[in-house]
Structure 1
Amino acid sequence: MSPMTVDASIYSAPKVDCHCHVLNPEGFAYATDVAYRPAGQETGSADYFLQVLDAYGVKHALLVGPNSGYGTDNRCMLSAIARSNGRFKGIAVVPNDAPRSYLQELKAQGIVGAAFNFSLHGLDHYRTAAPLLARLGELGMFVQIQVEGSQLSSLSPLLLDAGAKILIDHCGRPDLARGVKGDGFAALLALANSQRATVKLSGFAKFSAQDFPFADTAAFTGALLQAFGPEHCVWASDWPFLKASRRLDYGPLMQLLVQSVPDAEDRHKILWSTPLRLFGFGAA
C-alpha cells in the first residue's frame, strides 16, 4: 500500500464528528440483556474522547447510543452531553413504544434523534415502529437508520411517510458486489430528492472488502456526494470502532476524507457548516 499524502490543514479546520460512542462500563454498568458487551480497546469514556477530539481539533461530536452494552439505557451518553459544555449532542436508542413525553425529555437534554439499527435487529424488530417515526417527525427530530445490503429498498416509503428528518449511517453499508446500482444503494440515492435525508460518510470498514484506504468504496462515496451534495453529507469516525475487524485510527480516517473530497470548500461544509445547521451545535 502506497503512503497517503497527508494534508495537515484538516487538523486546524473546524470539524464535527457525527458518529461516535462513549462506553464507560466502570461508571455506567452495561444492561443485563444486551447481546454484546464491548471491552478493552472498544470502550472509551467521555473524558478520554474529549482528549481525542482536542488532539485532532474536533470541536463538536454527535454521540450515538450503542446497542452494544447499553441497549435503550442512554444514561452514559446523557451524562456525557450534560458535562460537555455544549460540545456533544446525541442520538438515543429508544423502545419502539417510546411516548412523546419521553422523546421531549430526551430532546431537552440534547438528543436530536433516535437510532434504528436494521442491520443488527432486522426489519421485523421495527414492524410496530411507525407511530414512533411519526412522533419523531412531529418533534422535528431525526430518524437515524443503519441498514446493510438491500434493506433500505423496502424502508424508503415508510421513512418518507413519517415526515421526520432522515440520517443514514455509514454510506448505507451497500453491497459492493451489486455496485452503485444495487437496490439498497439506489434507494439511498433516491432519498436525496426528499431534501430531508443526510448521509454519513463513514464506516467504510463495515462494508469494504479491502484494507485502508478502502479503495473499493470510492465509487459509492462519489455517487453519494453527487446525489446529496455537501449540504446533506457529514463526516464521522465511528470511534471507538466497535467490533472492528481490522486496525482503525482517527487520523488516517480524517485524511481519507481529504482524499475523497479534495475541494476545501466542500470539505468545510461536510465537516462544519452542514452539521452545525442540521444538529444545532452552538445554538443557545
Structure 2
Amino acid sequence: MSLFDEDRIDCHCHIFDPARFPYRDDTPYRPEGQELGTAAQLIRVMDAYGVRHALLVGPTSGYRTDNRCLVDALQTYPARFRGIAVVDNDIGRSELTALRNAGVVGVAFNPAMEGVELVLNAGELFASLADLEMFAQVQVVGDQMATLEPWLARQPVNVLIDHAGRPDSADGIDQKGFQAVLRIAETGRATVKLSGWQKYAHEAYPYEDVWPYAHALLRAFGPEHCIWGSDWPFLRAPERMDHGPLLALFEKIVPDAQVRRQIQWETPRRLFGF
C-alpha cells in the first residue's frame, strides 16, 4: 500500500480567499500569490494525497477575528472540514455558540505573535470554551510556555499545542520552554500538533535537527494525544514546500504504520468528531 493510501486528517491548514473575502484593513500581513489557498483548492490537494478531512485554522494574517471565510468553508464542505476560529477575548457566549454550531471546534490564541498576556487575560473565554466542550489552541515560541504552563494547567479546557511548541532547535531538549510543553502532557487534557517543522528548524528539509523534539513529544504525550498538520498553504515559508514531501517526512519520523494511523487518523477523528 502506498503512503498516500493511508487514512489521514490534516490538523493544520489555512484558507486565504481575498477575492471573495477581502482581508481586514488592519492586517499585519497580506498573503498573496503562492500563499493563497481557497477551500476548493485545498480539497483538490486533499484528494490527491489521501487526506480525508482537515482542521482549518483561522489565520492571524489577513483575517484574524473575521471568520467569514472560515465559516463559509465549513458550511460548503461540512463533511470534510472542522474549524479553529480567532476571536476577541470578550466574545459573547451566543456568538461563540454560533461558531460551534457552524463547525468550529475551538479558538486559536497566538502568543507567538501577540504576547503571553493574550492568554493570561482570557480566563472567562477559557471557561466558556470548557463549558461548550471546545478547544483552546495555543501557539507559543521559545520559552513562552514556561510562563503559560502553570496557568494553562489550572484551566478546565482541553488544549491544543500548536507546531510542537516551536522550540529553538539550537537550544536542545532541555530548554525550559520545551520542558514546559512536555510537562503539560501530564494534565491529560493537552494534545500537541507535530507540525510546522520549518518554523523552528535551523536545517533545511528534511529538518533533521527537529526530529528529537518530535520523538520527545511522542514519548511524553503518546500517540493518543498527538496529531499531524501540514500548515498548508505554507505562509511565509523559508523555502518551497509541498504536501507530498511533508507526508514522506512524517513517515521517516514515525516509521511505524500503526502509530502513524493513530496520530493522523484515530486521534483527530476522536477529538474533532469527524
Q: TM-score range by the shorter chain?
A: over 0.9
TM-score for the superposition, normalised by structure 1: 0.94
Separation in 2 of the partners of 1:238 and 1:21? 7
The one of 173, 178, 182 equivalent to 1:185 is 178
- Residues 109 and 118 of structure 2 are in contact (CA less than 8 Å); yes or no, is this contact kept in structure 1? no
Separation in 1 of the partners of 2:247 and 2:127? 35
- Residues 130 and 158 of structure 1 are in contact (CA less than 8 Å); yes or no, is this contact kept in structure 2? no
The equivalent of 1:94 in structure 2 is 87
The equivalent of 2:114 in structure 1 is 121
Separation in 1 of the partners of 2:155 and 2:127? 5
Greater Cα offset, 158-167 or 53-62: 158-167
Render the CA deviation track for 1:186-245: whole Å, top value 9, x for unaligned.
001011111110001100000000100001001101100111111010110000001111
The alignment of Structure 1 onto Structure 2 pairs a total of residues equal to: 274
- Residues 17 and 58 of structure 1 are in contact (CA less than 8 Å); yes or no, is this contact kept in structure 2? yes
Separation in 2 of the partners of 1:128 and 1:100? 17
Percent identical residues: 51
Separation in 2 of the partners of 1:49 and 1:177? 33
Residue 77 (1) aligns with residue 70 (2) = yes
The one-letter amino acid of 1:182's match is: Q
The equivalent of 1:45 in structure 2 is 38
The one-letter amino acid of 1:207's match is: Y
Residue 139 (1) aligns with residue 132 (2) = yes
The equivalent of 1:252 in structure 2 is 245
RMSD: 1.0
Q: Which runs of 5+ in 2 are unaligned?
A: none
Q: Which runs of 5+ in 1 are unaligned?
A: 1-7
- Residues 23 and 62 of structure 2 are in contact (CA less than 8 Å); yes or no, is this contact kept in structure 1? yes
Render the CA deviation track for 1:99-138: whole Å, top value 9, x for unaligned.
2211111111100000000101112344421111111111
The one of 6, 12, 19 equivalent to 1:13 is 6
Render the CA deviation track for 1:82-115: whole Å, top value 9, x for unaligned.
0114100000000011122111111111000000
- Residues 166 and 199 of structure 2 are in contact (CA less than 8 Å); yes or no, is this contact kept in structure 1? yes
The one-letter amino acid of 1:123's match is: V
Matches within 5 A, 1:130-169: 130-169=123-162
Matches within 5 A, 1:203-218: 203-218=196-211
The one-letter amino acid of 2:101's match is: A
TM-score for the superposition, normalised by structure 2: 0.98
Residue 25 (1) aligns with residue 48 (2) = no
Separation in 1 of the partners of 2:47 and 2:86? 27
The one-letter amino acid of 1:148's match is: V
Residue 222 (1) aligns with residue 215 (2) = yes
The Cα of 1:177 is off from its aligned counterpart by: 2.6
The one-letter amino acid of 1:197's match is: A
Separation in 2 of the partners of 1:241 and 1:85? 23
The one-letter amino acid of 2:97's match is: Q
SS in 1 for 2:29: coil
The equivalent of 1:4 in structure 2 is none
The equivalent of 1:272 in structure 2 is 265
Separation in 1 of the partners of 2:257 and 2:127? 37
- Residues 193 and 227 of structure 2 are in contact (CA less than 8 Å); yes or no, is this contact kept in structure 1? yes
SS in 2 for 1:274: helix
The one-letter amino acid of 1:96's match is: N
SS in 2 for 1:147: coil
Separation in 1 of the partners of 2:116 and 2:7? 37
Moved over 2 A (4+): 124-128
Residue 66 (1) aligns with residue 48 (2) = no
The one of 68, 86, 105 equivalent to 2:98 is 105
